[in-house]
Structure 1
């Protein structure tokens, strides 16, 4: 158990302690001069010895203690209640061999737990599902007392990562054993309705889109449903992706995109981030956010003369990536290559919270300040009464 301050800048209020000292020094100089006849025989060359002496020292002490208590109250004092009981903290990542982990820590004084929500004891059976390993590791690191070592047993293949190598505030003891983390469950992929609406002059673009959708379905059978029709059919309510192949588009299409749709629009020379370029660096397509959706704008028609990439074998993949958007960060990695790093000293000071629970002392210091105020008033009143008599 140790004393700490949550807002140490509050101690700057201690500068106010100079105020009562100055007041007592000034009042000491305010003395009445009384003439004594016998003093005329004392030579003026004899000067009295001077020294600094405070009048009413007990009153000054009470005022100084009161100001110091108020300054500490502003600094928000707390008591750190972490008990140094000598217990080591070790965690087993789901997927690691529990027997191998117990063999590594086959000694007394080790608290062995699963690196899972609520950190259950290692003796408790664990449900077979994926866990957010990276965030749980940071949580375990933040819960340790200062100076402790974080012991972690992980399988050779980690899961539940968030794309960033964790940086920990405590020393790390990293053990890799046989096993593999549970993969994130794959959610059944719903069918994607890809609507294509075209003008007569852009009907020649249809074969390229049909070939792209056929290539997609070859990898994911039956997932992509192509609905090609003239402009008069409008935008289907259940369409997720749209290709609008016409020199102009109605407000209906823009409204559909703003509600969250993704549209490939021909004859659109608007701005946006460059998406595809040719060999000379010229922009062939741009992507821009539009409300809750996104537009992939082609400056001209979807044809080999205007967009040579449609004849490239990679066109189907390029178009699919453009419609899907940015891919998520990988959540699996080799444990030996993913060993977390320790944060720098400055980062640990700035980011690490106080280890363990704390007990606020605000109420106690406020009570002490009230008592000192009463004492100061009693002493000041007593001094005033003595001066009046």
Structure 2
């Protein structure tokens, strides 16, 4: 264990120590000398000799200490603990069976851990939901030595992302196995009835709605019920959400006037706020207030040609969030699309940074604040008559 300086040139600020020394000396020389008549009878040999003395030495020491700690802070000291083992690491995302992970990573002599908070050993049991995968990858990358190899085993569908492809300081052996990470759904026992009213030419769209409802029920078995009938069928009072795949009709207007939520297709002239866009920025859906309700308006039909999102794995989540009035955070993606990339600047910094180095900036900042308060207290307090 030792202390190292990441920016030793910061110690050049120690040259400022001469400033308080000069100030205290000058103040001492500015003191008025009072002549005593009795001194004229004392010979030169026995006169009191002048000695080099500093004005208010305790205040001077505090100021010197304050400047010294400031210079040390500029030098960026770090505390180097015991070196971390440079053995390869294999981390497994929760939700992946350990046997599948070992088969994917092969027989390697490595440290096996879960990609979970505190990176528990693979032999321990961890939760499989609400895991911030992207954040944990960055944390692990910062903790491991620069020359430690890292293998990450993840399922095909990832959760716990933060909208950005991870950028790390090292190349990662990214192994993908079949599976899907799950996220915790808000506990609820209320059943939700989804009514679909469609024209004869829109029957092909029903398969996508059935798939979406089936995906919802995987996380909350039996909670979502699909009611599909032609457009002339009445809307039951127990309906929560409505999908209208037919020309506008009084039944739809009454539903919205009573505060209902409806997804309406082929509403090209609808106004409202953008809800979904494609990769090119083309508007795919809008959301607007109608009467006392809310409408999700699609400019075209509910088909992959008009709505490419239908084929995305996260379309059921997007649709449920739209009906619920939520904004869907980009927390899910395919593992193939989230392969971490190496950031050149981070890689260079990691190569130069000592392993297990802990910055001391916070402690030095607290010490500087304490010294400054002490210096101000002594400098501003009334001086005793003996010091005058």
Pick the TM interval, shorter chain: 0.5 to 0.7
In the TM superposition, residue 272 of structure 1 has moved relative to its aligned partner by 4.1
Q: Are 1:208 and 2:204 an aligned pair?
A: no
In 2, Cα distance between equivalents of 1:365 and 1:327 = 42
Which residue is equivalent to 1:239?
240
In the TM superposition, residue 76 of structure 1 has moved relative to its aligned partner by 11
Name the SS of the counterpart of 1:180 in structure 2: strand
Which residue is equivalent to 1:153?
151
In the TM superposition, residue 287 of structure 1 has moved relative to its aligned partner by 1.0
Deviation readout 1:126-174 (Å, 9 max, x if unpaired) = 6795865433222212334xx6434212349765363633212x4x363
Q: Which one has a bigger Cα radius of gyration?
A: 1
Equivalent residue runs for 1:172-211 within 5 Å: 172=170, 174-175=172-173, 180=177, 182-185=179-182, 193-196=194-197, 206-210=199-203
In 1, Cα distance between equivalents of 2:284 and 2:184 = 32
Equivalent residue runs for 1:300-339 within 5 Å: 314=305, 324=319, 331-334=333-336, 338-339=339-340
In 1, Cα distance between equivalents of 2:269 and 2:364 = 66
Which residue is equivalent to 1:287?
286
User: CA 1:20 to 1:206, structure 2 compared with 1: closer, same or farther past 3 Å?
Assistant: same
In 2, Cα distance between equivalents of 1:139 and 1:17 = 43
In 1, Cα distance between equivalents of 2:208 and 2:367 = 73
In the TM superposition, residue 240 of structure 1 has moved relative to its aligned partner by 1.9
Matched pairs, number: 317
In the TM superposition, residue 66 of structure 1 has moved relative to its aligned partner by 1.3
Deviation readout 1:346-388 (Å, 9 max, x if unpaired) = 9969xx9x9558683677777777988999999x769736xxx
In the TM superposition, residue 83 of structure 1 has moved relative to its aligned partner by 1.0
User: CA 1:114 to 1:150, structure 2 compared with 1: closer, same or farther past 3 Å?
Assistant: farther
User: CA 1:135 to 1:207, structure 2 compared with 1: closer, same or farther past 3 Å?
Assistant: same
Q: Are 1:96 and 2:97 an aligned pair?
A: no
Equivalent residue runs for 1:110-121 within 5 Å: 112-121=112-121
In 1, Cα distance between equivalents of 2:386 and 2:181 = 78
Which residue is equivalent to 1:40?
none
Deviation readout 1:216-266 (Å, 9 max, x if unpaired) = 5499889742255669x6774432234382379768626735xxx343286
- Name the Cα RMSD after superposition: 6.2
In 2, Cα distance between equivalents of 1:327 and 1:366 = 41
In 2, Cα distance between equivalents of 1:374 and 1:312 = 75
Q: Is the 8 A contact 2:115 2:133 kept in 1?
A: yes
Which residue is equivalent to 2:259?
256
Name the SS of the counterpart of 2:158 in structure 1: coil
Q: Is the 8 A contact 1:73 1:366 kept in 2?
A: no
Name the SS of the counterpart of 2:263 in structure 1: strand
In 2, Cα distance between equivalents of 1:374 and 1:285 = 66
Equivalent residue runs for 1:24-173 within 5 Å: 24-25=25-26, 28-29=29-30, 31=32, 57-59=53-55, 62-70=58-66, 80-85=78-83, 87-88=85-86, 90-94=88-92, 95-97=100-102, 103-105=108-110, 112-122=112-122, 124=123, 133-144=133-144, 148-155=146-153, 160=158, 162=161, 164-168=164-168, 170=169, 172=170
In 2, Cα distance between equivalents of 1:377 and 1:316 = 73
Equivalent residue runs for 1:370-385 within 5 Å: 384=387
Name the SS of the counterpart of 1:58 in structure 2: coil
Name the SS of the counterpart of 1:92 in structure 2: strand
User: CA 1:228 to 1:24, structure 2 compared with 1: closer, same or farther past 3 Å?
Assistant: farther
Q: Is the 8 A contact 1:152 1:175 kept in 2?
A: yes
TM-score, length of structure 2 as denominator length: 0.52
In 1, Cα distance between equivalents of 2:137 and 2:147 = 13
In 2, Cα distance between equivalents of 1:33 and 1:317 = 96
User: CA 1:360 to 1:239, structure 2 compared with 1: closer, same or farther past 3 Å?
Assistant: same
Q: Is the 8 A contact 2:243 2:264 kept in 1?
A: yes
Deviation readout 1:300-326 (Å, 9 max, x if unpaired) = xxxxxxx9x669895697889798368
Q: Is the 8 A contact 1:2 1:81 kept in 2?
A: yes
